[in-house]
Amino acid sequence: MFSPGDLCKRLRDHFDVLGSGPRDLPARQQTLRGTIQWSYELLDGEERTLFELASLFFPARVETVEGVAARLESLEDVDIVAGLSSLVDKSLLRSLNGHCRRLEMFDTIREYAARQRERDADVGTRASKAHAEYFVDFAVRRRDRLTGSEREDALEDLSSELGNLLAAWRHLVAAGDLEQLGRLLDPLWTLLDARGRYHTAVELANDLLHVLATVPPTPDRTRDEIMLRTSLARGLMAIRGYTEEVEEAYRRALELSDAVGEVPKRFPVLRSLATFHLYRGEFDRAAAVGRELLHLAEQDGDLGLQAEGHVVLGSSVAFLGDVPNGVDRLDRAVALFDPKQQGASRLRLGTSPGVVAHTTSALLLWLQGYTVRAGARARSGIELANLLNHPFTLAYARFHVGLFDLWRRDFAHAYERSSGALDVAEEHDYETWKALALALQGAAMTGLGRSSEGLARTDQGIALYQGLDTPPVFWPILHSIRAGAAGRSERAAEGLEGIDHAIELSGEENILYPEFAVLRGDLLLALRKTDGAEHSFQGALATARGFGLRTPQLHAALRLSRMWRGSARQREGVDLLRTTYESFTEGFEPRDLEEARAVLEELGDRTA
């Protein structure tokens, strides 16, 4: 009667999918409901009560059923093990192998059992309440172990009962039980962050906001709402990008802050506001929040939060042009960060500050010309991300170190990193990282000689990113990635359009401008527009000098010395390149330095 697709749709109404069976069968076999009801009616009273209770579990261990049953008068004298064994024998429960034995119901049987349980509303409510309170206590007992050497074991315990923890949460939300929700929130949120389940964390925040809305407003309740709204916004930004929903969450949080007279000095709030400003490219505002974060962390003597404060402040001041101060702050964050304390702060979502400190400082050190330190810091960032095994952090680290590899023209590693970032993003539905990883992967492919395929992949990533209303902060990088890919594919005119977009968005007083200007000059040279190319290289050189960025200076000097070869300015070009080359103090193996050395020797300068 039905195709597989039609039958699948009808299975959503489990009992009525088989409205009638062959008429020559016994009545109990003509419908699915009849079959289950016949089995249910064969149970004795204690078995029926246990059967109905078992429908609350997703799935169950014998000891957890015993724990919940101990909270119910109706089951206090029941032999739980014997009762569960009987239900397994009657195929109303099935026993699953795994790390430990689990008992599970098929959805159709669960639905029937739940309906039977709900016939007496009072009995059903008591059972659901007992189940919820048992698993709240289960989570709270593991809360203090979520940092330190026992963290992974505690996370594994919580993960094994995630279905039951979420069922408990849903019951408490329906009951409006703020006290128990508050007890469950921290351990459950920590688990969801650790396992990369940001979509579920967003649902939790929305649930709790809904319950808070039913409580009379007080200053403390309003501060709790602000904290939740900012954490919700950070989670939404992580999974969906910079959307209207994110803007609305922040707008409402700031309105509430005005109502209580200030932004609450709570770390989740300040951290989320810092992310908001960084993603919008508002580095001055992010720096101000970073200073508040750092002050609050130092007052509390919390080294982990101090590391996060240094990350926010360091990243912000670096992009405002004070690169040495930014790198110093990030170095302090690297020194302070303790992997064993990962996830210790409340309502955390997002990238590990330790990994951010490593990858951001790697990019900045490379721009400064500290090539050996930059490479070591990038490798350490990947190692730390692998150690933490935090999905969102893994996606972040692989993309940023892949970008570092692309800048160094190490296309094989850039492809490897971007592919790894894409795997994590697709597994956890991180659309922003998926878009960025696709763009980077395509650019790496063009460097490996796969021009058409690579450009198509990069365009796929950019189209996805554009469709997400995503953070403005990444657009200049994305346009520069696309421009470089086009240049490597002998499509310089397309590349020039892209790099002009990047420069327009970032401005000429941005620390990335020198590299963008060098790429623009390369594309103009490919189009035989030498005057424009020389102007771009000169602009890159001047801006890089102002920021103290030696790598872009080297790139610009190398190109100018080649352009001036055989002209009246050849000596000037040699002197410029030699002076820039000699300013480097480490790592003379990278291709840029090798090329500079070769040009100096070719032009008769033997000092290299």
pLDDT digits (tens, 9 = 90+) for 240-271: 777 778 888 888 888 888 888 776 677 888 88
Q: pLDDT at residue 608 above 50? A: no
Q: pLDDT at residue 544 above 80? A: yes
Question: How does pLDDT run across 90-100, given as a tens digit for each residue?
Answer: 999 999 886 67
Going by C-alpha positions, the residue among 257, 247, 326 that lies closest to residue 286 is: 326
Q: What is the mean pLDDT of residues 407-430?
A: 96
User: What is the per-residue pLDDT for 14?
Assistant: 54
Q: pLDDT at residue 343 above 80? A: no
Which tops the pLDDT comparison, 210 or 259?
210
Residues 6+ apart with CB under 8 A from 359: 377, 378, 381, 396, 397, 400, 401, 404
**Are the CB atoms for 421 and 413 separated by under 8 Å?**
no
Band (332; pLDDT cuts 50, 70, 90): very high
Residues 6+ apart with CB under 8 A from 32: 14, 15, 17, 18, 108
User: What is the per-residue pLDDT for 558?
Assistant: 95
Beta-carbon-side half-sphere exposure of residue 113 (alpha carbons within 13 Å)? 24
Going by C-alpha positions, the residue among 192, 272, 195 that lies closest to residue 229 is: 272
User: What is the per-residue pLDDT for 261?
Assistant: 78
Return mean pLDDT, the chain. 90
Band (324; pLDDT cuts 50, 70, 90): very high
Which tops the pLDDT comparison, 524 or 607?
524
**Are the CB atoms for 511 and 551 separated by under 8 Å?**
no
Residues 6+ apart with CB under 8 A from 553: 369, 514, 541, 544, 545, 580, 583
Which tops the pLDDT comparison, 469 or 283?
283
Going by C-alpha positions, the residue among 358, 251, 377 that lies closest to residue 310 is: 358
Band (70; pLDDT cuts 50, 70, 90): very high
User: Distance between the two ends of the chain, CA-based, in angstroms?
Assistant: 82
User: What is the per-residue pLDDT for 28?
Assistant: 64
Amino acid at position 420, single letter: G
Question: How does pLDDT run across 94-141, given as a tens digit for each residue?
Answer: 998 866 789 999 988 999 999 999 888 888 899 999 999 999 999 999
**Are the CB atoms for 309 and 290 separated by under 8 Å?**
yes
Beta-carbon-side half-sphere exposure of residue 479 (alpha carbons within 13 Å)? 21
CA–CA separation, 122 vs 113, rounded Å? 16
Q: pLDDT at residue 20 above 70? A: no
User: What is the per-residue pLDDT for 276?
Assistant: 84
- Between the alpha carbon of residue 263 and those of residues 287, 311, 392, the distances in Å are 16, 21, 27
Question: How does pLDDT run across 487-520, given as a tens digit for each residue?
Answer: 999 999 999 999 999 999 999 999 999 999 999 9
User: What is the per-residue pLDDT for 606?
Assistant: 53
Task: List, in sequence order, every residue forming a beta bridge with 94; answer none if it has no partner.
Answer: 104
Which tops the pLDDT comparison, 473 or 42?
42
